[in-house]
A and B are shown apart, each in its own frame.
Chain A
Amino acid sequence: MSENPDWQSWAAAGIVAASCAALILRAMRSKRKSNGCSSCGENRDD
């Protein structure tokens, strides 16, 4: 198996970018609906 293939770097970067976007969307959602307690979900608006 080759070491550190380039596609892995691109895939990892893609996942990091998608995570950034997801966290931003989550923060925007929390302005409209409560995400609830981070640990137990208490007070979550579904």
Chain B
Amino acid sequence: MADSNELIALAGNPNVGKTTLFNALTGALEKVGNYAGVTVSVKRGTMRNAHGKPLGLIDLPGAYSLEGGSPDQLIAREVLLGENEKIPKPDLVVCVLDSSNLERHLQIALEIIELEIPVVIALNMIDLAETSGLRLDPARLSEELGVPVIPIQADRGKGLVELKQALGHPFPAPPELRWERGNEESRRTFGLKIVAETARRPETHSATLSDKLDRILLHPVLGWVCFIGIMFTLFWSIFSFAAIPMGWIESLQEGAIGAVEGIMAEGDLRDLMTQGIIGGVGAVVIFLPQILLLFFFIGLMESSGYMSRAAFLMDGFMAKVGLSGKAFLPLLSSYACAIPGVMATRTIDSPKERLVTIFVAPWMSCSARLPVYLLLVPMLLGGSEGGAAQALIFLGIYVLGTLTAFAAARILRGRLGPDEVKTHFLLELPPYRLPQWGYIFRHVLDRGGAFLKNAGTLILGIMILLWAATTYPKLDSDDPAEVLSHTLVGRISHFIEPVVKPMGFDGRTGTAILTSFAAREVFVGSMAQLFHIDESEDETETRKSIRDRLAAETWPDGRKMFSPAAVISLLIFYIYALQCLPTSAVVARETRSWKWAVGQFVFMTAFAALASLAVYQTAKLFGLA
């Protein structure tokens, strides 16, 4: 935080651009999106005023009023009232308002002014208001409210100099109120009066582009067709567009293996580098382009305003499973990562609905599962990558996880009993906006950097240990199978094979599953190592060759080991298993109970194993295994 003791808070309704302003003032890269409820915890940073003086800056979750009931809104209220134990009362509040919707957004500004904290009002998205024909008089508004009012456009950095100047000393003194303190009706009447005096609207109201788009995207039938079409395009693009950069990574990997083999004599260190490090880590890193594409498309949906439309479409369906449309936004966020999804449940007023949403969120397939799906799905299609069939299977995987989550939510919601707190789903449908390209690209690069960092730390460490476990203790034999069975992995595989065999897996696949409890994507690297058969063959450690090797594997009786039934069984396991310790830690924190986190882990893992078993055994009955 700042080396200054002075603290400035950004407050206002949800989705008015507080975090965009926070990022612009501090240079941070906090998550932004064009829907309500993106920020659910207090973000901290440091900014400088117009004279270069450092100031602490906090970004509060959006709140429609200081009496809101959901956990995120309670935090905003606590901080503004100086009741938060960890964050001191701010010295000044920058109240961010959406210029095109002043009637509603002024209400919280008036509530904050009543707290007698110095206030500066930032009229954000002034460009959109002007485009729609609205003419505002900030000077008059400032006069009426008794506080500085600065028009800004946070996403373009416009008006920030003026805003920083307004944050210079002395801070503006709290004004004399022209409405009755604590009286909601008086506040509303005053707000409407000053908006009437300071804002001039166009005489005629014509349908905006957002209105026209919503006629299609929110249509009871066309809306669903578009939703499914968008998701299908997303998955198809992930396969199609990523092929070229994946080829580059493959070539790099092959080149690196070739270089090591050219320089070093045969030996343990060379094996460790080629099989363990380059082969194992490379097998995971190769999926980086697809992960980046997933984050890019999710960023587009979040930034454009489509997320709220998807939640709107789902509201009726959500009601049938005992949840409100409000719960769908956290679930949608979980497609990128379950952690922000679980944290986004703070926007839900009802504690029971929130608990149910947290419980089922990990069944929305996150980006960490992507490498596993990308390895396995083409095996169902004879090894070929790309194409509509693959995108359809992908869509099916995501739909299966989502529908199971809804079914579980319905059962759990019934068992938890009725709410003490009545929940209301008021969804704001923001106007569509052009995506913030700069933010999206920075966000995607940030996530890509984190993925690579993880590949260079956790996955690298596990791959090295796995190499050791597949190498030691050594046996002097020419039979690779005999050598492997003598190693630690061979012994573990032998031990767990009876447990995993009914699910269609041999001991090595079972071992790869075990290693992926550290991180799901480790599975791909582990499979690359554990099914590395004969290094004398001129095979490269590429995803295709992993699939080739898996496709060639047979059981002792000659049956194909990775039959369609076994591959589907594996996919089912990864759709349902909760193999993410960081998610469990966040669940424990958000529910304030390790019991929920442990219960969720045990339930989801057991469910995954049983579902996998049921699928494989059913397929076996029909002779498909």
Contacts and interface: CB of A to CB of B under 8 A. Distances in A.
B366 interface: yes
Given A4-B267, A5-B267, A15 B464 contact: yes
Interface of A: 1-5, 7-9, 11-13, 15-16, 19-20, 22-23, 26, 34-44
B337 A40 contact: yes
A26 B460 CA distance: 13
A26 B465 CA distance: 15
B258 to A, nearest CB: 16
Contacts of A19: 460-461, 464-465
Given A37-B582, A41-B450, A9 B465 contact: no
Interface string B266-280: 111111100000000
Given A8-B267, A8-B268, A23 B465 contact: yes
Interface in B65-121: none
Contact of B458 (A1, A38, A40): A38
A37 B368 contact: yes
Nearest to A43: B339
A38 B585 contact: no
Interface stretch (B202-210, B421-429, B514-522): B514-522
A12 to B, nearest CB: 4
Interface string B328-356: 00000000111110010000000000000
A37 to B, nearest CB: 5
Contacts of A8: 264-265, 267-270
B574 to A, nearest CB: 13
B407 to A, nearest CB: 26
B265 A38 contact: no
Contact of B585 (A13, A15, A34, A41): A34
A11 B269 contact: yes
A13 B464 CA distance: 10
22 contacts: A1-B264, A4-B267, A7-B269, A8-B265, A8-B268, A13-B268, A15-B464, A16-B468, A36-B582, A37-B368, A37-B450, A38-B521, A39-B454, A39-B520, A40-B336, A40-B447, A41-B447, A41-B453, A42-B336, A42-B337, A42-B339, A42-B450
Interface of B: 264-272, 291, 295, 336-340, 343, 366-368, 446-447, 449-451, 453-454, 457-458, 460-462, 464-465, 467-468, 518-521, 580, 582-583, 585-586
Given A8-B264, A8-B270, 12 more contacts: A3-B265, A4-B268, A9-B268, A12-B271, A13-B268, A15-B269, A23-B462, A26-B457, A26-B458, A39-B368, A40-B447, A41-B446
Contacts of B271: 12
A37 B461 contact: no
Contact of A43 (B447, B518, B520, B582): B582
B519 A38 contact: yes
A26 B461 contact: yes
